[in-house]
């Protein structure tokens, strides 16, 4: 299991236990260079997730989610710093006034 920093944890329908598209979690890890982004959409029985390479994250569907939530800055950071360290990742997150929230997946 890797340690991920949560960039987005959004639930548009918190009253639903199961949903295929109401919730989105996007997180980044420094521990997996090939697929540093985890993208989870939905929740409960309707949820599913995938690990993304930076190339995959720029595909229209995923890129639209980053843009809708004003977090495309993390893609720029990863693209510009392919060997980023945990400290560099933390600094980048904090520089955008995001809290450091960590989960393991």
Q: What percent of the chain has pLDDT over 70?
A: 100
Q: Does residue 20 or residue 72 have the better pLDDT?
A: 72
Rounded Cα distance between 29 and 4, Å, is 5
Q: pLDDT tens for residues 48-72?
A: 999 999 999 999 999 999 999 999 9
Q: Where are the alpha helices (DSSP H) in 1-105?
A: 54-57, 60-68, 73-80, 86-95
Rounded Cα distance between 85 and 58, Å, is 22
Give pLDDT, residue 22: 77
pTM (2 d.p.)? 0.93
Across the chain, mean pLDDT equals 94
């Amino acid at each position: 299991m890797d340690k991920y920093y949560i960039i987005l944890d959004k639930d548009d329908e918190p009253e639903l236990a199961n949903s295929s598209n109401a919730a989105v979690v996007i997180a980044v890890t420094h521990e997996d260079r090939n697929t540093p982004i985890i993208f989870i959409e939905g929740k409960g029985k309707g949820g599913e997730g995938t690990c993304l390479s930076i190339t995959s994250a720029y595909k229209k569907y995923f890129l639209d989610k980053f843009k809708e939530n004003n977090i495309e800055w993390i893609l720029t950071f990863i693209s510009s710093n392919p060997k980023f360290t945990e400290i560099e990742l933390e600094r980048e997150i904090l520089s955008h006034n995001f809290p450091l929230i960590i989960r393991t997946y």
